[in-house]
Structure 1
Amino acid sequence: MSTNTKHEIQTVKSYSEINEYIKKVLALIEKEEVTEEDAKWITTETVEGFREHVNPGFLAYRKTVTKDGQFAAVEWSDEGSCFTDVHGKKYIDCLGGFGIYNVGHRNPKVVKAVTDQLKRQALHSQDLLDPLRAILAKILADITPGDLKYAFFTNSGTESVEAALKLAKMYSERTTFISTTRAFHGKSLGSLSGTAKGMFRKPFLPLIPGFRHVPFGDIEMMRKTFETCALVGEDVAAVILEPIQGEGGIILPPEGYLKQVRELCDEYEALLIFDEVQTGMGRTGKMFAADLYDVVPDIICLAKAFGGGVMPAGAIVAKEKVFKSWFPNPFMHTTTFGGNPLACAAAIATINVLIEENLPARAAEVGEYFLQGLREAAEGHEDKVLEIRGQGLMIGIEFHKDEIGYEVSKAMFDRGILVAGTLINSKTIRIEPSLTISLDEVNVVINAFKEVLSQVNCK
């Protein structure tokens, strides 16, 4: 279809016709339950919409997790540790929205806080002082490690990383950053400069100058890079690290590594930025992975689970000596929707749930049980499974070949369990369920994994 023809067809449609379509959709949203006829219409519209107006590439990707390529998986509702598709099939969610559902799907306390706030005010004026932002910042100062004190709020992980990078530049006016191989920090230009995967980087080169990547876990290479940068007058502004690499394949740091990086940063007067977008909010068995490794960064980045799986929300929290470079002009870095009342309400309620239900400790306990069960299930399948590793409820299953991971993911999905690969290391599938997942659900996943391994052909 030519552009002109397409335009002519579009102009024929009146606003009244478009609005009739919109009203049908709103009526479906209003329904507590949809009929089979509704489900078929929604599925058709979803597939067609992705093909024609979102991105047809998603359809090709989703074939790996749909039975016989029928695009049956159109999600419709969720609760607890599960989501349900439009046809009523229930799935145990072990992807967890890439780690956003720490307190579960639609946690009632988080939903209540957001709806209560919505009844009063949705967004702030941008000029007056908004109370929930101040209150949430105080709570973050209380729960984050060490002397982290001031918060800036964002809408996503990549925005949190962007804010951290800009803050680090203003603190010292240095322009060199050290990141690591297999790192993932987001896909906006600054964050992408710290991200490691060439496939994501190459189309957008040149990125922000000054970034150097060293192998994750190699403290000697980190030291040599610091030394070299100092010798050539390109002193390091900051090191940015995920305490545990998520998209890199759930890579745990060697013993003592993070403390040694902290010491190097102190020696060369550089900042240490912890990207805890995926590891934060109880995921690893502590409220933050920084607590797990007893290291205090200068800036911590949060997002994903920060909004309780209900609202997009993120933050950075920094030490006063670092953050005060933004004191003279608080408009040096801003975002319209960051720290809005609904997001702050969600984050406050999320922290309440994490504390009251002791979910970080539960993540440690259930994670240990999950890891052990998966490892036992993999016994005898060493030709397929290379390693199963993790911390808390952040678990990676690495296979010898990408193809095995794809087949396992698809077979698990057909059995009502959602898992997915990591963005940097496609041989590894992640297990990141809600921290509220029951032991019965964990056992279902372990048994399904054992069954799938016995049936998947690794050739």
Structure 2
Amino acid sequence: MLNKFLNHIAQTSDAPIGLEVNHAEGPFIYTKDGKRFVDFISGIAVSSLGHRHPKVVQAIHQQVDKHLHVMVYGEFVQKPQVDFAELLISNLPAKLEQIYLVNSGTEATEGALKLAKKYTGRTKLISFKNSYHGDTHGSLSVTGRDIYREPYLPLLPDVHFLTFNSFEKLDLIDEKTAAVIMEPIQGEGGIIPAEKEWLKEIQRRCDKADALLIFDEIQSGFGRTGKLFAFEEYEVVPDILCMAKAMGGGMPIGGFASSKEIFQSFKYDPPLNHVTTFGGHPVSAAAAHANLKELLSGEYLSRALEIEKQVKAKLQGKGIVEVRGKGAMLGLQLESWELTRKVVEECFEKEILLGWTLHSNTLVRLAPPLIIEDELLNDVLDSVLEAIGKHS
């Protein structure tokens, strides 16, 4: 099977992980050769309620028995879309009163950028160094990491990058600016939370210039930081909110929310100037609705904060440069690339999946599912500490 995978599935690296998945349940992924891996990265912040949560699976089955795709997004009234949107919007600030459903995070970013340019009639975009907003051309244009951008230059013009958490050069947010796009917590850039007063100043500058503020909460949304969305900690409300990853409980779906007034600009000059065939697919929307209902009905948000508390108490200062982040969106900064590689590889040998890339080479990203129990959480942390001690 591995050879067929390598021959027929386009690869993005010379060394894919290559686990042959048999099934997944809760915090575990089971392979064809009988191994059971703890998914401590949740499919990269996707499976926040674990794999195949029963209520999400039930909603999928019920919708499959009714209908699949029937029409491009926005033309037919489809109950799964309406139910999900109603529940989500009822839990967002008043000015985020509608959502446009798409298929993925990068599509949410693309739609948000188009919406900002269309509404304001401007082209200038402000982003931040070390940001990550997706791999399609528009999203890549506002991603502040040269390693991703340089192979595809030229990208969108009139994009300017500022330093995250720095008050320098904020005067670039001016009357020519369509939007400022940012992650309240930089993910791929190193799990770096924004500073509250700095973020408030960003909003003040946007308001003064009549520029839109876009928050990319594709990774930080849906309970991962202990709030439904990370911006709730900052007393700052964006004009456009991007979301995906944990939104669908394991099904592909994304979206961007804004006001009715701003969304009006998609209706005219010309009509249908932003469309998607499969956005808000009814099966994905049904899964997203069930996922959100469960997330809001349980103790998952407080569990994210408890995970943070336990991780930091156990790991902080023990051969680790820094443990940072919020809730169950955490990063371990280690001393060297070699140590980081060895820790991740040794944990893999112990059937624990951690987040690490060559582009963030001294950072181990942790995004455990919010359903993880204390015993398993502590077993994983013990394994991490053991690997760090062995290779330090």
- Structure with more of its chain in helix, by fraction: 1
Cα root mean square deviation, aligned:
1.6
Matched residue, 1:197: 145
Matched residue, 2:70: 124
The secondary structure found in structure 2 opposite 1:208 is: coil
Q: 1:79, CA displacement in angstroms? A: 0.8
Normalising by structure 2, what TM-score?
0.95
Matched residue, 1:154: 102
**Using the alignment, how far apart are the partners of 1:283 and 1:413 within structure 2?**
23
1:444 pairs with 370, 379, 382, which one? Answer: 379
**Using the alignment, how far apart are the partners of 1:134 and 1:120 within structure 2?**
15
Task: Name structure 1 gaps, 5 residues minimum.
Answer: 1-44, 63-70
User: Do the aligned partners of 2:244 and 2:253 also contact (CA within 8 Å) in 1?
Assistant: yes
1:273 pairs with 200, 214, 219, which one? Answer: 214
User: Do the aligned partners of 1:219 and 1:257 also contact (CA within 8 Å) in 2?
Assistant: yes
1:209 pairs with 134, 157, 163, which one? Answer: 157
**Using the alignment, how far apart are the partners of 2:84 and 2:297 within structure 1?**
17
User: Do the aligned partners of 2:49 and 2:369 also contact (CA within 8 Å) in 1?
Assistant: yes
User: Do the aligned partners of 1:247 and 1:423 also contact (CA within 8 Å) in 2?
Assistant: no
Matched residue, 1:32: none
Q: 1:61, CA displacement in angstroms? A: 4.5
Residues 423 and 308 of structure 1: CA distance in aligned 2, closer, same or farther (over 3 Å): farther
Matched residue, 1:254: 195
**Using the alignment, how far apart are the partners of 1:394 and 1:291 within structure 2?**
15
2:171 pairs with 224, 228, 243, which one? Answer: 224
Matched residue, 2:233: 292
For residues 36-85 of structure 1, what are the alpha-carbon distances to aligned partners after superposition, in whole Å with 9 as ceiling and x for unaligned?
Answer: xxxxxxxxx22x123322246645243xxxxxxxx6x3222111111111
Matched residue, 1:180: 128
Q: 1:446, CA displacement in angstroms? A: 1.1
Q: 1:124, CA displacement in angstroms? A: 2.2
1:433 pairs with 344, 362, 368, which one? Answer: 368
For residues 175-204 of structure 1, what are the alpha-carbon distances to aligned partners after superposition, in whole Å with 9 as ceiling and x for unaligned?
Answer: 001000110000000000011121211111
**Using the alignment, how far apart are the partners of 2:366 and 2:127 within structure 1?**
25
User: Do the aligned partners of 2:128 and 2:163 also contact (CA within 8 Å) in 1?
Assistant: yes
Larger Cα-atom Rg:
1
Q: What does 1:14-413 correspond to in 2, within 5 Å?
A: 45-46=1-2, 48-55=3-10, 58=13, 60-62=15-17, 73-126=19-72, 127-221=75-169, 223-226=170-173, 230=175, 235-309=176-250, 311-328=251-268, 331-375=272-316, 378-379=317-318, 381=319, 385-413=320-348
For residues 176-235 of structure 1, what are the alpha-carbon distances to aligned partners after superposition, in whole Å with 9 as ceiling and x for unaligned?
Answer: 0100011000000000001112121111110011111111111232x23225xx5xxxx1
The secondary structure found in structure 1 opposite 2:65 is: helix
User: Do the aligned partners of 1:147 and 1:319 also contact (CA within 8 Å) in 2?
Assistant: yes
Pairs aligned (count): 389
Residues 225 and 165 of structure 1: CA distance in aligned 2, closer, same or farther (over 3 Å): same
Task: Name structure 2 gaps, 5 residues minimum.
Answer: none
User: Do the aligned partners of 2:339 and 2:388 also contact (CA within 8 Å) in 1?
Assistant: no
User: Do the aligned partners of 1:401 and 1:427 also contact (CA within 8 Å) in 2?
Assistant: yes
**Using the alignment, how far apart are the partners of 2:287 and 2:10 within structure 1?**
30
